[in-house]
Amino acid sequence: MKVLIVNTNRERAPETVVPLGACAVATATEAAGHEVTFLDLTFHRDPLRALRKSLDTARPELVGLSLRNLDNGDYTHPRSYLPAARELVSTLRDYDVEVVLGGPAVGQNPEALLRCLGCRLAVCGEGEVAFPALLAALANGTDPAAVQGVTLLEEGEARNSPVAPMTELASLPPVEPERWLELSRYRAYEASWPLQTKRGCALRCTYCVYPLLEGRQWRLQEPERVAEEAERGRRLGFRLGEIVDSFWGLPSEHALACCEALARGPRLPLSTMELSPGAISPELIEAMNAAGFTAVGISAESASDQMLRALGKDYTTEQLWQAERESQNLRAQRMWIFLLGAPGEEEATLRETGRFIAALPQRDLVFLTWGVRLFSGTALTEALIQSGEVEETEELLWPRFYWTPRVTLERARQIIADCGFPLQNQVTLSEGMHRLLPLVQRLAALCRVKPPYWRHGAKLQRLRRALRL
Contact 281, 252 (CB under 8 A): yes
* 417-423 long-range Cβ contacts below 8 angstroms, 24+ apart: 418/354, 419/354, 419/355, 419/357, 419/358, 420/358, 421/357, 421/358, 421/360, 421/362, 421/366, 422/362, 422/458, 423/461
Contact 350, 344 (CB under 8 A): no
Q: What is the pLDDT of residue 469?
A: 60
Helix/strand/coil for 367: strand
Query: What are the φ and ψ backbone dihedral angles of 208, each rounded to 5 degrees?
Result: -90, 140
Q: Residue 406 is which amino acid? A: R
195-247 pLDDT, tens per residue? Answer: 999 999 999 999 999 999 999 999 999 999 999 999 999 999 999 999 999 99
Give the residue-averaged pLDDT of 281-308. 98
Fold matches, 2-160 and 192-370+403-466: no
Kindly give the pairing relationship between strand 293-301 and strand 270-275. Answer: parallel
What span, in angstroms and rounded, lies between the C-alpha atoms of 28 and 362?
A: 47
Distance between alpha carbon 194 and the CA centroid of its chain, in Å?
11
203-214 pLDDT, tens per residue? Answer: 999 999 999 999
What span, in angstroms and rounded, lies between the C-alpha atoms of 42 and 19?
A: 9
171-180 pLDDT, tens per residue? Answer: 888 899 999 9
Contact 227, 265 (CB under 8 A): yes
Chain mean pLDDT for the chain: 95
Q: How confident is the model at residue 464 (pLDDT cuts 50, 70, 90)?
A: low
What span, in angstroms and rounded, lies between the C-alpha atoms of 333 and 63?
A: 42
Helix/strand/coil for 230: helix
Looking at per-residue confidence, does 42 or 464 come out higher?
A: 42
Q: What is the pLDDT of residue 185?
A: 96
Give the residue-averaged pLDDT of 360-376. 97
> In the chain, what are the domain boundaries?
2-160, 192-370+403-466
State which H helix or E strand residue 308 sits in. Answer: helix 305-310
Q: What is the pLDDT of residue 468?
A: 65
Distance between alpha carbon 333 and the CA centroid of its chain, in Å?
21
Helix/strand/coil for 65: strand
Burial of residue 468 (number of CB atoms within 10 Å: 0-12, 13-18, 19+): exposed
133-149 pLDDT, tens per residue? Answer: 999 999 999 999 999 99
Question: Which residues are within 8 A (CB) of 412 and not within 5 positions of it... i.e. 6 or more apart?
Answer: 340, 341, 345, 350, 370
409-431 pLDDT, tens per residue? Answer: 999 999 999 999 999 999 998 88
Q: How confident is the model at residue 467 (pLDDT cuts 50, 70, 90)?
A: low
DSSP letters for 233-255: HHHTT-S-EEE-SSSBS-SHHHH
| Maximum alpha-carbon separation in the chain | 66
Fold that domain 192-370+403-466 belongs to in CATH: pyruvate-formate lyase- activating enzyme (3.80.30)
314-327 pLDDT, tens per residue? Answer: 999 999 999 999 99
Helical spans, DSSP H, in 158-301: 183-188, 210-214, 223-235, 252-264, 282-291
22-67 pLDDT, tens per residue? Answer: 999 999 999 999 999 999 999 999 999 999 999 999 999 999 999 9
Give the residue-averaged pLDDT of 291-306. 98
Please report, for residues 198, 216, 237, 271, the alpha-carbon distance to residue 219 in angstroms, rounded to integers and kept in the order given: 5, 9, 29, 21
Helix/strand/coil for 210: helix
Encode burial over 414-432: b for 16+ CB neighbours within 10 A, e otherwise. Answer: ebbeebebeebbbbbbebb
Q: Does domain 2-160 have CATH number 3.40.50.280?
A: yes
